[in-house]
A and B are shown apart, each in its own frame.
Chain A
Amino acid sequence: MLELKNVCAGYGGADVLHHISCSFSEGGSYCLLGPNGCGKTTLLRVLSGLLPYRGHALLDGIEIAGLRRKQLASRMAMLSQIHVVQFPYTVYDTVLLGRYRHMRERWFGRPSLADKEVVERCLEVAGLSDLRHRMLNELSGGQLQRAFLAHTLAQEPDIILLDEPTNHLDIRQQVELIDYLNMWSSENGHTVIGVLHDVNLALRLSRRVLFMREGCVLRQGEFSQIADDAFLQCVYDMNIGEYMRSSLQQWSIDP
C-alpha cells in the first residue's frame, strides 16, 4: 500500500505539492487527473523516490526516502514517455537491463537462465520477439515504447508508475498499451498509477481517480461518484463534460 501523509515537495525550494494526503491500496489501477502544472508528475516522483519531500510517503508502512534504490526497484518501476536514445542498444539488451536489480554484481557475470527466461517472456508480451536484435534508434515510436514497457516488466515490480507514457504514440498504440497494463494489473493483482493527459485514456486505465489542482488533492474515488460537470469545470476551468459530449456528436453518422 502506498500512502502519503501531509507531503510537501517541489523544486528549487518552491513547493509544488502542498500538504498532500492520499493512499493507493494494492491491486488495480489509479489515474491522477488535473490541469498542467497541478503537481501530478511531482506526486509520481515522490512516490517513486525520485524527489525529496517533507511529511511521510510510505510504502507498506516504510518511509520511501529510507529505502535503498534496489529495495524500491524490487517493488515499483516507472514507465515514462519516450526516451531520447543517446547510444544504440539492441532491444534484447534494453530489456535485459530491466533485470538489473536481480543480477549479481560481478565483473564478467552473465545473465542467469531465469533472467533470460523473464526477458524472453517480456519480449513476447511486448510483441518484440522478432525485433530483439534491432537497435533502439531503428525502432518506431510505438516499438520504442514497447521496448521500454518490456524493460519495465522485466524488473518484475508490483507497482508501475506511468508518467505520460503514451505521448508520441498513435491512438491504436495508446489503447493497446493501456489495455495491456490493465490486464497486467488485474491478472497479477498488481498496481498501476498513471498520469495521462488524455482524460478518455485515463478513464480507460481506471475509474478510480485522484483529482488535483494547484498542488492539492481535490477529490479521490470512483469517477462517477466524485465528478460532475460543475466539479470538472472547477478543476480544468472549462466544461469538460460538454466538450466530450460535443466531440462525440461529431462521430455520429447519419443513417
Chain B
Amino acid sequence: MSRRFKIICSIAAGILCLLLGMCAGSVPIGLGDTAAIVSSKLFSNALPEHIPPITASILWNLRMPRAVMAFLVGAALAASGATMQSVLRNPLASSYTLGVSSGASLAVGLTILTGFTLPVLPGYTLPLSGFLGGLGTVFLAMGLAGRFDHHLENTTIILVGMVLSLMVNAIFTLLTAYAGDKLHQLIFWQMGSFSGQSWSNCGLMLAVVCFGVLALMRYGREMDLMTFGEAQALSAGVELKRVKWILIALSSLLTGTAVAFVGVIGFVDLIAPHIVRRVFGSNHRVVVPMSALFGGGFMVVADLVARTIVSPQELPVGAVTALIGAPFFIWVYFGRRRRERYA
C-alpha cells in the first residue's frame, strides 16, 4: 500500500471520526440532518421542517464545538508527543514529562482557591492560568537544566523536568488539603473534560494547532537527525541547542493550550506517534501531521465513549483514553512484532 493511499485513508478516517462525534449521542442526528443544520447556520438557510430547533441547537452549540475541540486537543497532544519523543530520544517522553500538567494544575488550583477572576474575559481565567502555569514550569525546567548542563543533554532535561514536576505535584497535593468546598471543582478540572466548549475556544485552539503543527513540520529533518543521537545531529550540522529549545517550546505551547482548555488528558500523546510510526515510518514531516490526525480522531472517539456509555452520566475522558488506548496500543505495537517474528 503506497504512503499516499495510506494518508488519504487516514484523512478519511479522521473526518469520519469527527462526523461520528457530531452525529452520535443520546439524541442521534443523521448525516443528512447534520449537513442541513450546518448549512442553515453557515448560509442562513431555513431549517427543514422535520428538524426541531432544539436538535439544531444541540448540534451547533454543544456537539460540534465539543467534537471539534476534542479533535484539536487530540491533535495538539499527539503532535507534541511525537516531537518530545524524538527530541528527547525517549519513546515514553511527552510534554507532561517536563511538567506541563503539574504546572497547569498548580496554577489552576491557586486560581480556584484564591477565587481570582480576570477583570476582562473572566471566562478565560482558568484556561489562561493553566496555560501560563504549564508553560512556566517547562521553561523553568529548561532553564534549570541549562544551568546544570551547558549542552542541555536529554538526560539532564528529563531528570530536571521529572523532579520539578514531582515537586510541583506535591505542592498541588498540599493545596488540595486546604481546598475545602472547592476540592470538587479542582479535581473535576484535573480529570479533563470537553463539556462547555464554545466556538471561540475552538477558534483559538485551531490557530495554535495549525501554527504548532506547521512549525514542527518545518523542523522535521532536524528531528529525524536527533533520533540518531545528539552527536550525530551535531555532526550533520544541526544547531542542536537552539533547535531543542524551539521544539520543546512549540510542543509545550501545544500541550499547554490543550491542558488550559480541557484539563489533563493523558495517553494520546504516547500512543498516537508510535502507531503512526508503525504505519508511515519515522519521517517527521509525515509523523507530526499524521499523529495530529490520528490523535484527533482517537480523542473524538474517546470523548464519544465517555459521554454515551453510561449516559446521562459522563466518564472522565482521560480514563477512557487510557482504557481504549492501552489494549489498542498493545495490539498494534506488540501484535505486529509477534506476527513479524512468526512470519
Contacts and interface: CB of A to CB of B under 8 A. Distances in A.
A103 B222 CA distance: 12
A52 B237 contact: no
Nearest to A135: B281
B232 interface: yes
Interface string A59-76: 000000000111011101
B91 A86 contact: yes
A107 interface: yes
Contact of A73 (B89, B218, B235, B277): B235
A103 B220 CA distance: 13
Given A49-B234, A78-B235, A93-B224, A86 B281 contact: no
Interface string B219-231: 0011011011101
B29 interface: no
B214 interface: yes
A6 interface: no
B101 interface: no
A83 B239 contact: no
Contact of B277 (A76, A87, A90, A155): A87
Interface string B200-240: 00000000000000100110011011011101101111111
A162 to B, nearest CB: 12
A77 B236 CA distance: 7
Contact of B236 (A80, A100, A108): A100
Interface in A81-112: 83-84, 86-90, 93-94, 97-98, 100-101, 103, 105, 107-108
A90 B280 CA distance: 11
Listed residue (B222, B235, B236, B237) with the most chain A CB atoms within 10 angstroms of its CB:
B235
A83 B233 CA distance: 12
Interface in B258-292: 277, 281-283, 285
A48 interface: yes
Contacts of B239: 68-70
Interface in A206-226: none
B237 A80 contact: no
Contacts, number: 82
A50 interface: yes
Given A107-B214, A108-B285, A89 B235 contact: no
B282 A69 contact: no
Nearest to A157: B235
Contacts of B236: 73, 77, 97-98, 100-101, 155
Chain A interface bracket (under 10, 10 to 19, 20 to 34, 35 or more): 35 or more
Listed residue (B85, B227, B238, B239) with the most chain A CB atoms within 10 angstroms of its CB:
B227
A49 B235 CA distance: 9
A88 B281 contact: yes
A72 B237 contact: yes
Listed residue (A50, A97, A152) with the most chain B CB atoms within 10 angstroms of its CB:
A97
B219 to A, nearest CB: 9
Contact of A100 (B85, B225, B283): B225
A77 B91 contact: no
A254 to B, nearest CB: 48
Given A83-B228, A86-B227, A107-B214, A69 B281 contact: no
B282 A100 contact: no
B234 A50 contact: yes
Listed residue (B217, B218, B236, B277) with the most chain A CB atoms within 10 angstroms of its CB:
B236
Contact of A69 (B86, B150, B229, B234): B234
Listed residue (A48, A68, A69, A80) with the most chain B CB atoms within 10 angstroms of its CB:
A69
B147 to A, nearest CB: 14
B272 to A, nearest CB: 14
A52 B217 CA distance: 31
A235 B217 CA distance: 51
Nearest to B340: A138
B225 A97 contact: yes
A157 to B, nearest CB: 9
Contact of B237 (A84, A87, A100, A108): A100
Contact of B224 (A48, A68, A97): A97
A88 B282 contact: yes
B242 to A, nearest CB: 9
Q: Which 10 A-B pairs have the closest CB atoms?
A: A73-B237, A101-B237, A87-B282, A78-B235, A70-B237, A100-B236, A69-B237, A87-B227, A69-B239, A89-B282
Interface of A: 45, 48-50, 52, 68-70, 72-74, 76-78, 80, 83-84, 86-90, 93-94, 97-98, 100-101, 103, 105, 107-108, 135, 152, 155
5 contacts: A78-B232, A83-B232, A87-B86, A90-B281, A101-B236
Given A97-B225, A107-B218, 19 more contacts: A48-B235, A50-B234, A50-B235, A69-B234, A76-B235, A77-B235, A78-B231, A78-B235, A86-B91, A87-B86, A87-B282, A89-B224, A89-B227, A93-B282, A100-B237, A105-B218, A107-B217, A135-B281, A155-B237
Interface of B: 85-86, 89, 91, 150, 214, 217-218, 221-222, 224-225, 227-229, 231-232, 234-240, 277, 281-283, 285
